[in-house]
Chains A and B, each alone.
Chain A
Amino acid sequence: MTDTDRIAELLLDWEDRREHGIDVPVEELCRDCPHLIPELARRINALKATTWLTRGDDDPPSETPAPVTPPPLPLGGRYRLDMKVGEGGFAEVWKGYDLELRRAVAVKRPKPSRLGTTDRLERFVAEARRAAGLKHPGVVPVFDVGRDAADAFIVSELVEGGSLAERIVTNPPIVQESVRLVAEVADTLAYAHRHGFLHRDIKPANVLIDICPQICPQNLPTGRGDINCYRART
């Protein structure tokens, strides 16, 4: 056995025993080959100094919070999903970020549990197409739609004011403002009706308030399916 092989064997022996809590002195390891002591000691020091490479947990200790799951990949290579802001029976809505245009957006996508048939995805995408045809200050504009084999998503303007339901709880509108809000919703509904859309679930939770403030009723189902949401300008 060459000295190189011997040192390698001794190092394996040293580390095996160290893993069991026994730090064998280099002199004891080299009892039969004392001429190897300097080189073996140097390598043991190197291994001790690189213990961090062998740690199972790569997360930095203490200062950082608990490990996080990896961020989802940008949808379509463009839209980063930052935070889920709402969900319904079929789809969920995320606050996202358009990496190309560098602006916040809303991203709606079917819940993973509701994905399944191509037909469902087609209906979901068709919803976006129809909604994109509406042009009204009270309708949240659709920016983009995308899909792959098993997923689909609709990208629209992000309305950051929260829902009317939340507003009623946190800061109830006075009478005059309530009248104005109802008028805005009615105006937008009238526009949608003229274009063949029928909302089947008007309620405060489905009305978004823009920071302008404009309001924006969500989830406008029609006889042909659902569109995303709409809003009315004051």
Chain B
Amino acid sequence: MPATDTQLQRDIDRAFTGDDSARNALIDHACDRLVRLTRKLFHRHPDLRRWEQTDDVFQGAMLRLHRALADVRPESVRHFFNLAAVMIRRTLLDLAKHHLGPHGHGANHHTDGLPPDEPGGAVHRATDPASEPTDLEGWTEFHAQVGELPDEEQEVVNLLYYESLTQEEAAKVLGISLRTLKRRWQSARCRLHDALNPEEPT
């Protein structure tokens, strides 16, 4: 079960005091986020969805994430969250590349999805600029663009999107005011939108 905000807030507070058991809870939280974001990644790919949590690659990614976070000794709660978010992002990119590569499941497989050239198939799946990405390519580009944001904005996206913290929790982790956090969040979203929709008139 994902932690509730209250639980997460308590875990964060305990982690601030150096409580190892709290860190384990945060690791579980990060793994939970990876599962949810992976589901999102493959949601609109019915031809890939059945692999999303049974594939060895995904299991391996979960294991690596867990081990890496358990092994590392972050300097602070802020450092921990950033590290976890970067690892989650890299894992999602790896998963997407794995499935999109020339030998990936997604390259030639349509047995349980619509044929690509039929209505609703991959060829006809258009990206709506007002909604989240609808295909693996779109998600890959999104995650890659987050990595290109200025550090301060990337950190906010890490906490709010990849780690699913509330704005209040994120502000506390970063040691900034809620207003500053909101400002960075808005700036990051505008920048991401511009990067992902370069053809739109400005």
> What is A's interface to B at a CB cutoff of 8 Å?
8, 11-12, 15, 42-43, 46-50, 52-54, 56, 58-60, 63-64, 67-71, 73-74, 77, 80, 99
Contacts and interface: CB of A to CB of B under 8 A. Distances in A.
Contacts, number: 83
Contact of A12 (B32, B186, B189): B186
B182 A50 contact: no
A58 B36 contact: yes
Contact of A43 (B66, B160, B190): B190
B59 A53 contact: no
B56 interface: yes
A68 B35 CA distance: 9
A157 to B, nearest CB: 21
Contact of B36 (A15, A59, A63, A99): A59
A12 B182 contact: yes
A204 B7 CA distance: 45
A64 B39 contact: yes
A50 B192 CA distance: 9
B53 A12 contact: no
B39 A11 contact: no
A36 B100 CA distance: 43
A52 to B, nearest CB: 4
Given A43-B190, A47-B189, A49-B129, 10 more contacts: A46-B189, A48-B130, A53-B160, A58-B36, A69-B1, A70-B32, A73-B66, A77-B63, A99-B59, A99-B60
12 contacts: A8-B187, A47-B189, A53-B157, A53-B161, A56-B164, A58-B164, A59-B39, A64-B39, A64-B43, A70-B35, A99-B56, A99-B60
B40 interface: yes
A64 B50 CA distance: 12
A11 B160 CA distance: 19
B183 interface: yes
A15 B31 CA distance: 31
B131 interface: yes
Interface of B: 1-2, 28, 31-32, 34-37, 39-40, 43-44, 53, 56, 59-60, 62-63, 66, 129-132, 157, 160-161, 164, 179, 182-183, 186-187, 189-190, 192-194, 197, 202
A80 B54 CA distance: 9
Contacts of A63: 43
B186 A52 contact: no
Nearest to A52: B132
A76 to B, nearest CB: 10
A33 B179 CA distance: 22
Contacts of B186: 8, 11-12, 15, 43, 47
A60 B40 contact: yes
A64 B31 CA distance: 20
Sorted from nearest, which 5 A-B pairs have the closest CB atoms? A46-B193, A60-B43, A52-B132, A70-B35, A50-B189
Contacts of B66: 73
A11 B183 CA distance: 8
A15 B182 CA distance: 10
A67 B37 CA distance: 12
A101 B185 CA distance: 46
A71 B35 contact: yes
Contact of A58 (B40, B62, B189): B40
Contact of A46 (B31, B44, B160, B190): B190
Nearest to A12: B182
A67 B32 CA distance: 11
